A and B are shown apart, each in its own frame.
Chain A
Amino acid sequence: MQLILESLFNGVAIGSVLLIAALGLAIVFGLMGVINLAHGELMMLGAYSTYITQLIFKLPILMPFYNAYVIVAIAVAFLVSGVVGILLERSVIRRLYGNPLETLLATWGVSLILQQFVRSVPLAYGAGLIIALLLGLLLPIVLSKEFISNRYDRFIKLGSWSIATLIGVLTASGLSSSISKIGRASARNVDVTAPSWMRGGIDLWGITFPVTRLVIIVITLISVLSVTWFLNRSVWGIRIRAVTQNRSMSDCLGISTETVDILTFGIGSGLAGVAGVAVSLLGSVGPNVGGSYIVGCFMVVVLGGVGNLIGTVIASFSIGILTDLIGAGRLLTIWPDMPGPLASTVDFFATTSMARVLIFALIVIFLQFRPAGLFPQKGRMVEA
């Protein structure tokens, strides 16, 4: 019993990461029909953002607040991945709209570029670049609201980009001189150390629940709730849903579809960043960390159905739990005197990658029977 509970708990933690990331993937796919193969790398950026944030909080001035760095890291990761995602949409995906195959190839290319980027560029410079981009994109929006007149538009843009560049360069040099770890490029994996309150576990019913995993589950809960609220209750949520369901009519009603695209891509990518924070708390962070989650994300989206929150939640938890059950060989621990041949089969699949293969096969079989996923959309509109 305890073993089962423990396994369930671990599975839910793994599933949580999948859930946040898959939610982002599904929002973007639902809106633009774009399958973003670089989504895993956006997770990786989120994980690296956590790492950098943690190092910054180790600086003497911020040391007193060290315990709170995880919360700051979530915001930072959301922003970093969001900005990179928006940039990706503006520069690449926008041009390939309506060509799914080309989009797939292009985003795959971007994912390789991002991987190489973190290998060969010092993280401090990367951070500086992102801050410059963030300021460059945000300042004109904020400033032009202040001045309203469009006459100075060009100067405002020019000015903001020069300020942004300056601040970016200063940040990069500041970071690389004060934190030597991120001053040089390195392809090696890095480890994020959890603050002291997140180490250890909580004992309940004779089981130890690791606090990190509890934190991950809480982060997931908050993310899912806020995304649901945002999509269903906020003004932008109505706009996003309208554009998702009927782009040209939404345009005719007065919705700027371009703005909706930017916002949605930003939020979808930002969620990948938040998932990245969770990833960094689960294990070590390297350039390839995104790749190991992206397949799971796609499986969740396929199984749960696009635009179906409950389906996505159930799919990610099932995949998470199955991964843990099979991959960690827990079936054998739960049922020690399994008959010989079965036991050796279970043993055979008891590695992370073999577990993934098995789950993938199971999902393919499942989809043979229910091609629309767990919860197909119902109602009048579907037949039309």
Chain B
Amino acid sequence: MTLLETHNINTYYGESHILRDIDLSVQHGEMVCLIGRNGVGKTTFLKSLIGLLEPRSGDIYLEGNSLNRMQPHQRARAGIGYVPQGREIIPYLTVEENLLLGMEALKGGLTAHRKIDSFIFDIFPVLRKFLARKGGDLSGGQQQQLAIARALLGSPKLLLLDEPTEGIQPNIVQDIESAVRRIINEKGIGVLLVEQHLHFVRQADRYYAMQRGGIVATGRTSDLSQVVVDKFLSV
């Protein structure tokens, strides 16, 4: 069964029409990349998936179940992990508390789950060192790792990653890339990635290219031609 499927998503900000008839799908264990220049509507699409924005029309299905009427927290519990652009770490909570909050998406939430799975520290060892520190005091790269770890602790079926390497130094980009790869291999979850780094984009199985709020090209990343890259990535 398809993990994520959207049909004709149309999202507006007030009267301005941002997303136009987006059809997209992600399979289990698949990594799909959404590319496009700044301001075309990639973040808007991810926000429509998690429920922060309500599409004016269209349908979203997770494993065949409609998410249309659900609020963000219900979608999180249904199995969507969201790592937003800008990371959105809860600033005055400690790293440990931020991680704990990741488990709110599990059945029973924090009340039933109080132990942080140590596999998180395997992937991002730096987090163990900073458990007692305030989330807002971490560096950008550390916050990004924390945001991904937090989303993973909810055992999502689908992980939404919005420009996880934006403004991060190259060696941490590498860490994050291999971490995402490893998660897909070990947990078999689907990943929808919004990304500008070509190297990371090439890790994905398929791509969708977006222009002015619509999908204008799609295919296997192995077939991603230089023309498409020049057209849709701002590098």
Chain A contacts to B: CB under 8 angstroms: 235, 238-239, 241-242, 245-246, 248-257, 379-381, 384
Query: When chains A and B are docked, how far (Å) is the Cα of A249 from the Cα of B72?
Result: 9
Closest 6 CB pairs of A and B: A381-B136, A254-B105, A254-B104, A381-B91, A254-B76, A249-B88
Stretch touching chain A among B59-67, B94-102, B205-213, B217-225: B94-102
Cα distance A249–B52 when bound, in Å? 9
B-side binding surface: helix, strand, loop or mixed?
helix
Shortest CB distance B112–A (Å)? 10
Cα(A252)–Cα(B90), bound, Å = 12
Instruction: Tell me the residues in window 97-120 of chain B with beta carbons closer than 8 Å to chain A beta carbons.
Output: 97, 100-102, 104-106, 109-111
B4 interface hit (Cβ, 8 Å): no
Cβ-defined contact, B72 with A242, below 8 A: no
Of A245, A252, A379, most buried by chain B (CB within 10 Å of CB) is A252
B58 within 8 A of A: no
Closest B residue by C-beta to A243: B90
Complex partner residue of B93 from A238, A252, A255, CB under 8 angstroms: A238
Whether A249 lies near B84 (C-beta < 8 A) is: yes
**B102 — which chain A residues lie within 8 A by C-beta?**
253
Whether B97 and A253, one on each chain, are in contact in the complex, defined by CB atoms closer than 8 angstroms, is no
Interface residues on B, range: 20 to 34
Cross-chain pairs A/B with CB under 8 angstroms, 15 sampled: A242-B90, A242-B93, A245-B90, A245-B91, A245-B92, A248-B52, A250-B90, A251-B72, A252-B50, A254-B77, A254-B105, A255-B73, A380-B91, A380-B136, A384-B136
B202 CB within 8 Å of chain A: no
How far in angstroms is the closest Cβ of chain B from A149? 18
Kindly identify which residue among B72, B101, B137 contacts A379, using a CB–CB cutoff of 8 Å: B137
- The reply to whether B88 and A246 form a contact with Cβ atoms under 8 Å apart is yes
Q: How far is the CA of A238 from the CA of B113 in the complex (A)?
A: 14
Asked if B82 lies at the interface with its beta carbon under 8 angstroms from chain A, I say yes
A260 to chain B, nearest CB (A): 10
**Contact A253–B104 (Cβ < 8 Å):** yes
A246–B110 Cα gap in the complex (Å)? 18
Could you tell me if A239 and B110 are in contact, using CB atoms closer than 8 angstroms? Answer: yes
Which residues from chain B contact A245 at a C-beta distance below 8 Å? 90-93
Question: Which chain A residue lies CB-closest to B138?
Answer: A380
Write the nearest CB–CB distance from B134 to chain A, whole angstroms: 7
Contact B76 A253 (CB under 8 A): yes
Name the residue of chain B whose CB is nearest to the CB of A232. Answer: B97
A380 and B73 CA atoms in complex are apart in Å by: 28
Judging by beta carbons under 8 Å apart, are B136 and A254 in contact?
Answer: no
Chain A residue at smallest Cβ distance from B154: A254
With A251-B51, A253-B104 known, 7 other A-B pairs at CB within 8 A are A241-B93, A242-B90, A242-B101, A252-B84, A252-B88, A381-B134, A381-B137
**Distance in Å: Cβ of B29 to nearest Cβ of chain A:** 23
Q: Of A235, A246, A254, A384, which contacts B90 at CB under 8 A?
A: A246
Are B137 and A380 within 8 A (Cβ)?
yes
Give complex CA distance A245, B98 in Å: 12
- Interface contact B90-A379, CB-CB below 8 Å: no
* Residue numbers in B under 8 Å from A238 (CB-CB): 93, 97, 100-101, 110
CB-CB under 8 A from A379, the residues of chain B are 134, 136-137
- Give Cα distance in the complex from A238 to B111, angstroms: 11
B41: min CB distance to chain A, Å? 18
Residues of chain A within 8 A (CB-CB) of B100 are 238
The answer to whether B52 touches A252, judged by C-beta atoms less than 8 angstroms apart, is yes
Decide: A252 and B76 in contact? CB cutoff 8 A: yes
CB closest residue in chain A, given B147: A249
**With A257-B73, A380-B136 given, is the CB distance from A250 to B92 under 8 Å?**
no
Whether A253 pairs with B92 at a CB distance below 8 angstroms is no
Cα distance, A253 to B137, chains bound together (Å): 20
B137 near A241: Cβ-Cβ < 8 Å: no
Is A250 within 8 A of B101, CB to CB? Answer: yes
